[in-house]
Amino acid sequence: MAVDLGGIRMKNPVNTASGTFGNGWQFEGFYDVGELGAITTKGCAAEAWDGNPAPRMCELPSGIMNSVGLQNPGVRAFIASYGEYLAGLEERGCRVICQVAGHSIEEYVRALELFEDLAPFASGFEINISCPNVSKGGAAMGATPEAAAEVMAAVRPVTKRPIVVKMAPHDVGEIARALESEGADALSLINTIPGMAIDVRTCKSRLSRPTAGVSGPAIHAIAVRMVWEAHRAVSIPLCGIGGVTSGEDAAEFILAGATAVSVGTANLVDPTAAPRVERELEAWAESQGVSDINELIGAFEC
């Protein structure tokens, strides 16, 4: 079940999606988080961000909408609070991927510089250029091949550790090629899809902002298609994200070309979702008659 996500060597393909898993310790009461292949921490910027005002989450028939806005304490406070736990998690065999946030290229660089200095335990970094819920930067930083490439070119010299880029759900083939050309080691896709939820009694948004990011089973088929498109466009590994609630959901991503998968919204519904997905994914791989799950990556036949 071991896979290599652009230099991040995972004992199994199951990761957790940033923002849906705290920083790992919150789930230790449910199971041994060290069983997972990796976790991706909540995004952090160089300095603290307040995020968006409440209400900023609401439930949908097949998922959720969130407009958290990447609230975070800043890299220094994050490391002071969680660094010891995360270093221990790495020692237990679960890879730690620290997500980097920024409003501008300069902020991404500064945040990554801080992580590089203060987080020697991290196996790699995820650069979030696709958050739809911040007032500047965010999704705009990854909206075009040129903008995405500019961010990647700026952060690449900061670290020799693997860099994974979290992509927005559009133009994935072209943007994936641009990121690969500037040295990205892997790509994670997709981030949430912008949507709206209107309270028909008040005629206002159900959240504090007019639009927010949709996640969960509602976007799974779209995410699988986009992973397949990216797999055909680039040769670097992919992490599939979007509506993974079962081993079969994860298997779809693997067949479409993903090396790893991230469990996101499902963690909020079932806190034991990630290890269950791993067990179900392993059972599926065995049922396919292979000795190595890597044999199934991209095995989809048109």
95 is written with which tokens?
């890879």
Task: Identify each DSSP E strand in 143-197 by its residue range.
Answer: 163-166, 186-189, 193-195
The one-letter code for the residue type at 114 is L
Cα 144 from Cα 130, distance rounded (Å): 11
**Cα angle for residues 23, 24, 25 (degrees, 5° grid):** 105
Question: What angle (nearest 5°) sits at the alpha carbon of residue 231, between those of residues 225 and 233?
Answer: 105
Alpha carbon distance 99, 250 (integer Å): 22
Exposure of 162 by Cβ count < 10 A (0-12 exposed, 13-18 middle, 19+ buried)?
A: buried
Pairing between β-strand 57-60 and β-strand 124-128 as defined by DSSP bridges: unpaired
Contacts of 182 (CB under 8 A, 6+ apart): 149, 152, 153, 156
Non-local (6+) Cβ contacts of 165 within 8 A are 126, 127, 129, 142, 148, 152, 179, 184, 186, 187, 188
Catalytic residue among 131, 203, 239, 302: 131
- The Cα–Cα gap between 88 and 140 comes to 35
What are the C-alpha distances in Å from 265 to residues 18, 95, 96, 140, 219? 10, 20, 19, 23, 11
131 catalytic residue (yes or no): yes
Among all residues, which ones are annotated catalytic?
A: 131
